[in-house]
Chain A
Amino acid sequence: MKTADSIAFVCPRFAAGGAVGGAETLLRNQAARAAAAGRRVTFLTTCARSHFSWANELPPGERTVDGMTVRFFPVSPRDEAAFLDAQRSICAGGSVLPGTESAWLANSVHSEALYEHLASHGAGYDRIVMGPYLFGLTYRASEILPDRTVLVPCLHDEPFAALEATRALFHRVRAIMFNSAPEQALAERLFGTPLPPSAVVGMGMDDFAADGDAFRKRHAWADVDYLIYCGRREPMKGTTLLLDYLGAFRRRTGRDVRLVLTGSGPVELPGELAGAVTDLGFVSESEKHDAMAGALAFAHPSVNESLGIVLLESWLAGTPALVHACSAVLRDQCKRSRGGLWFRIYPEFEETLLWILDRPALRRQMGTAGRRFVLSEYSWAKTLGRMLSLLDEAG
């Protein structure tokens, strides 16, 4: 068994402040922890910050961050219109023509400079960890040294997962690191078994202290009951659904439950919710954690999750969760942790929220159970151990 001493992490964007997704945060944290554990880590990424424009905003070159070398490569020119056309066709559902799939892949984000680096220096890395599965860069990079490549897919049940290229990617790599057992089960269902060796790793969470009362005091909300959602605001994440449900709940029950949002993306508030929704936008981590701690529950209406980092954070803040049952991952987390409840349709949302509202003691009990679950299952000691075992054993 060869120890993975030198590890490259590959991700289209590097998570450094600002709005980045969960997958980028996951890969950066895994890389930083591997570096702290004494492995030689190089992070290969692009100069892009926006996953819409993929414009080269950061200067190319090499920098040292958290004890690891981060190399930024420019994004290659791409035909954005052709990409969006193909993406629309794929998202429309039904069978995807090979031409559409190849147009989507060819015009996704790529970096020829990064591929050249991997081709010429890849042999110096014992393992090349890359993800998420959704980007052209991951497909192409995985073809360069597949027998050293470990995929962190962050897989969701969505039209892109059904592409032939995705199936090939999952069967091409040396090993796969999943974020949760339901994600692993989804991959097995979509791509068939046997898949390459895999493990459920996830991301470690650092404990923090949060003060919900202080947040309520700062906002003069001593007696306000509110739900909280943190993260990107877009239909794919279920924020439209949450706003629709909250509006119906307030109208039908007459209970003054409000919503606090943090994160990025536009929010279109229906008139009836004016005054009931507070959009804090980007806030510091401590402000976010205080806001979580003061909430009735963390509402996670997304059905496209492979881990749910913010859900784990809200449990660390001692707050129970209310998640969409169609997300197998979030439902499984709530079931295993006993820290949250789930709904499938509006009537279940209404009944569950009323249940949460009227039972403060049980709410606290769920929050405590969630916190215990995160501290035991998602400590860095455990997740790093799982990750390094897989990387070493895949040698």
Chain B
Amino acid sequence: MDNLFEIGADGLDTAAIVAEIQATVERKTREGVYSDPHVARAERSNLANLKNEENFLTFYLDCLRDAVFVDINDFDIYERRRRFSRALVAFKRLVWKMLKFYTYRLWSQQNQVNGLLLTAVESTESRYREKMAALEARVARLEEALRGRAS
């Protein structure tokens, strides 16, 4: 395995290694390996770096899709402190039960808004993408016709 990318006496071809890694990432992305809210969250400070890239918006929307819904389900309640841990867990469970009816209503509405907003942005983006593709095709056709006329 270690010799996979070894190239002559000059050492490794790091560009080839990166290309190989990118191909792996593309495949895994298609398989849904990175559809994970943790990935979306990790990208929050990277989005500004990618703003000039052609596929920026697609990538950004992918990230948003993975993070758009707030998890409102019940969750494991535990206590790190050893002393009174059972009592503290029971107390936290009670607090959660009392608050649940309120937070559930609040977050389910928020999730609805988040989902609708994302859908709206996605459909706008896809419409513009189609429009751009149609315009580019038209420009290419016109240029072709101009070249034909010139020759």
* Chain A residues near B (Cβ < 8 Å): 235, 238, 240-241, 244-245, 247-248, 251-252, 303, 324, 326, 334-335, 338-342, 344-348, 351-352, 355, 358-359, 361-362, 365-366, 368-369, 372
Which residues of the other chain, B, contact A338 by a CB distance below 8 angstroms? Answer: 10-14
Number of interface residues of B (CB under 8 A): 32
- Known pairs A335-B14, A346-B43; A303 contacts B38 (CB<8 A): no
Count: A-B pairs, CB below 8 Å? 89
Which residues of the other chain, A, contact B6 by a CB distance below 8 angstroms? Answer: 362, 365
- Known pairs A338-B12, A368-B11; A351 contacts B42 (CB<8 A): no
- Asked if A248 contacts B17 (CB within 8 A), the reply is no
Contact with B2, one of A238, A326, A362 (Cβ below 8 angstroms): A362
- Asked if A248 contacts B41 (CB within 8 A), the reply is yes
B34 on the A face (CB < 8 A): yes
- Asked if A326 contacts B50 (CB within 8 A), the reply is yes
- Asked if B50 contacts A352 (CB within 8 A), the reply is no
- Asked if A345 contacts B50 (CB within 8 A), the reply is yes
The answer for the CA separation of A340 and B5 in the assembled complex, in Å, is 13
Chain A: interface secondary structure? helix
The answer for the CA separation of A359 and B17 in the assembled complex, in Å, is 12
A363 to chain B: closest residue by CB: B2
The answer for the CA separation of A346 and B41 in the assembled complex, in Å, is 10
- Asked if A347 contacts B34 (CB within 8 A), the reply is yes
CB distance from B24 to the nearest CB of A (A): 6
Contact with B50, one of A244, A245, A344 (Cβ below 8 angstroms): A344
Which residues of the other chain, A, contact B95 by a CB distance below 8 angstroms? Answer: none
The answer for the CA separation of A324 and B53 in the assembled complex, in Å, is 14
- Asked if B29 contacts A303 (CB within 8 A), the reply is no
Which residues of the other chain, B, contact A342 by a CB distance below 8 angstroms? Answer: 18
A372 to chain B: closest residue by CB: B11
- Asked if B46 contacts A241 (CB within 8 A), the reply is yes
B22 on the A face (CB < 8 A): yes
Which residues of the other chain, B, contact A251 by a CB distance below 8 angstroms? Answer: 38
The answer for the CA separation of A287 and B120 in the assembled complex, in Å, is 54
- Asked if A361 contacts B25 (CB within 8 A), the reply is no
The answer for the CA separation of A241 and B48 in the assembled complex, in Å, is 11
Which residues of the other chain, A, contact B17 by a CB distance below 8 angstroms? Answer: 341, 355
Contact with B45, one of A241, A339, A344 (Cβ below 8 angstroms): A241
Contact with A351, one of B21, B38, B59 (Cβ below 8 angstroms): B21
B72 on the A face (CB < 8 A): no
- Known pairs A247-B42, A346-B39, A351-B21; A369 contacts B11 (CB<8 A): yes
Which residues of the other chain, A, contact B87 by a CB distance below 8 angstroms? Answer: none
Contact with B11, one of A244, A351, A365 (Cβ below 8 angstroms): A365
Which residues of the other chain, A, contact B49 by a CB distance below 8 angstroms? Answer: 241, 303, 324, 326
- Known pairs A248-B39, A346-B43, A348-B21; A362 contacts B14 (CB<8 A): no
B51 to chain A: closest residue by CB: A93
Q: What 12 additional pairs, Cβ within 8 angstroms, besides A338-B11, A362-B12, A365-B12?
A: A235-B45, A241-B46, A244-B46, A303-B49, A335-B15, A338-B13, A345-B50, A347-B33, A347-B34, A351-B21, A365-B11, A369-B11
Top 7 closest A-B pairs, CB basis? A248-B42, A369-B11, A241-B45, A361-B2, A326-B49, A244-B42, A338-B11
